[in-house]
């Protein structure tokens, strides 16, 4: 018997393999099955084959860029529940996601207590920027300052600062969890002065601006830093409950329904600052 000729399907498979189109190769059988059964016309079938390639390529690009940017997670706006956080203005967040603030070299500061979604929203902006092909760099303030201190000790500070001015979007997370040393604060101030009006920075903090003097160990430097930051800046102030505690609250409500019945009738508890607690 003569060797059988490769089928049309096999020839297309070989072409897709030759062109290094694994996404299309993976989707091919399903698309051909639909085409054979008449559920899919030729035009849409071709579109789907090419679309499968583009989808996989984009996902891989995003993953590579995510690793290069050191984003700890791929948070998106689609996963953000506005109804849980009424103090967040949807129009403001959506307008930020057009990324025109990066074009204008403006900054974004997310302020609010722990768990209210500051990092989530900051990361979703970073993901949008990475998807749009921007160079992004994520760091916590503590990591950033450590890396600047190390560079200074090795006589490479100028080089390190140049590298950190380069990304068109830098995300400095967790300002306020740990107080900085004087040198650390000076180094951060230097970096932010370099990036001022050159590239955008997103910052998140659980401390209001009035408490940054304590975080940076120096009121004058904190004031100078805030002055540069807020000159071209979008401030997102989130007042609300921790999303991390959401499920605990739901659990508590289910177990103790009477505690939650007349919540709205009770006077609001006055906020107690950490300092007041410490002073007790």
Q: Give yes or no for a contact between 180 and 148, defined as CB atoms under 8 angstroms apart.
A: no
Q: Which is nearer to ligand ADP, 95 or 100 (CB)?
A: 95
107 sits near ligand ADP (criterion: CB under 6 A): no
Q: Which is nearer to ligand ADP, 15 or 87 (CB)?
A: 87
Residues 126-185 that bind Mg ion (CB under 5 A): none
Picked from ligand ADP, Mg ion, none, the partner binding residue 117 (CB below 5 to 8 A depending on kind) is: ligand ADP
Q: Which is nearer to ligand ADP, 118 or 195 (CB)?
A: 118
Q: What is the DSSP string of 53-111?
A: HHHHHHHHHHHHHHHHHT-S----GGG--GGG-TTS-HHHHHHHTTTHHHHTT-EEEEE
Strands (E), 98-150: 107-111, 136-140
Query: Which part of the chain contacts ligand ADP (CB under 6 A), choosing from 11-19, 31-39, 75-83, 153-161?
Result: 75-83
Rounded CA gap, 176 and 142, in Å?
9
Q: Which is nearer to ligand ADP, 105 or 234 (CB)?
A: 234
177 sits near ligand ADP (criterion: CB under 6 A): no
Picked from Mg ion, ligand ADP, none, the partner binding residue 200 (CB below 5 to 8 A depending on kind) is: none
Q: Using CB under 6 A, pick the residue from 59, 63, 84, 230 that binds ligand ADP.
A: 84
The closest of 129, 131, 108, 130 to 119, measured between CA atoms, is 108
**Helix, strand, coil proportions of the chain in percent (round to 5)?**
60, 10, 30
Rounded CA gap, 272 and 206, in Å?
14
Site map 109..128 versus Mg ion, x via CB under 5 A: ----------x---------
120 sits near ligand ADP (criterion: CB under 6 A): yes
118 sits near ligand ADP (criterion: CB under 6 A): yes
119 sits near ligand ADP (criterion: CB under 6 A): yes
Rounded CA gap, 202 and 97, in Å?
13
Within the chain, what is the greatest distance between any pair of CA atoms? 95
Rounded CA gap, 194 and 167, in Å?
12
Q: Using CB under 6 A, pick the residue from 23, 48, 69, 75 that binds ligand ADP.
A: 75
Buried b (16+ CB within 10 A) or exposed e, 200-221: bbbbbbbbebebbbebbbbeeb
Residue 280, helix vs strand vs coil = coil
86 sits near ligand ADP (criterion: CB under 6 A): no
Q: How far is the CB of 199 from ligand ADP (least distance, A)?
A: 22
Judged by the rule CB under 6 A, the positions of this chain that interact with ligand ADP are 75, 79-81, 84-85, 112, 114-120, 204, 243-244
Q: Which residues of the shown chain bind Mg ion in the complex (CB under 5 A)? A: 119
């Amino acid at each position: 018997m003569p060797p059988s000729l490769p089928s049309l399907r096999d020839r297309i498979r070989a072409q897709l393999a030759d062109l290094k189109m694994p996404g299309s190769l993976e989707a091919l059988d399903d698309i051909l099955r639909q085409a054979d059964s008449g559920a899919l016309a030729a035009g849409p079938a071709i579109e789907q084959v090419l679309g499968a390639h583009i989808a996989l390529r984009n996902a891989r690009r995003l993953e590579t860029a995510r690793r290069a940017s050191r984003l700890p997670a791929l948070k998106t706006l689609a996963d953000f529940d506005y109804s849980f956080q009424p103090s967040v203005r949807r129009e403001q967040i959506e307008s930020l996601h057009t990324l025109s603030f990066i074009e204008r070299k403006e900054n974004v500061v997310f302020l609010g207590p722990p768990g209210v979604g500051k990092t989530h929203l900051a990361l979703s902006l970073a993901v949008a920027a990475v998807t749009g092909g921007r160079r992004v760099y994520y760091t916590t303030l503590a990591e950033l300052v450590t890396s600047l201190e190390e560079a200074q000790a090795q006589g490479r500070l100028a080089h390190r600062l140049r590298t950190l001015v380069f990304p068109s979007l830098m995300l400095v997370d967790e300002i306020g969890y740990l107080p900085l040393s004087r040198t650390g604060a000076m180094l951060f101030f230097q970096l932010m002065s370099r990036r001022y009006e050159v590239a955008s920075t997103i910052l998140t903090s659980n401390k209001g601006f009035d408490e940054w003097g304590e975080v940076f160990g120096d009121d004058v430097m904190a004031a100078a830093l805030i002055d540069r930051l807020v000159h071209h800046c979008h401030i997102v102030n989130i007042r609300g409950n921790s999303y991390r505690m959401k499920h605990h609250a739901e659990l508590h409500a289910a177990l103790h329904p009477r505690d939650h019945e007349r919540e709205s009738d009770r006077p609001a508890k006055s906020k107690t600052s950490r300092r007041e607690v410490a002073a007790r």
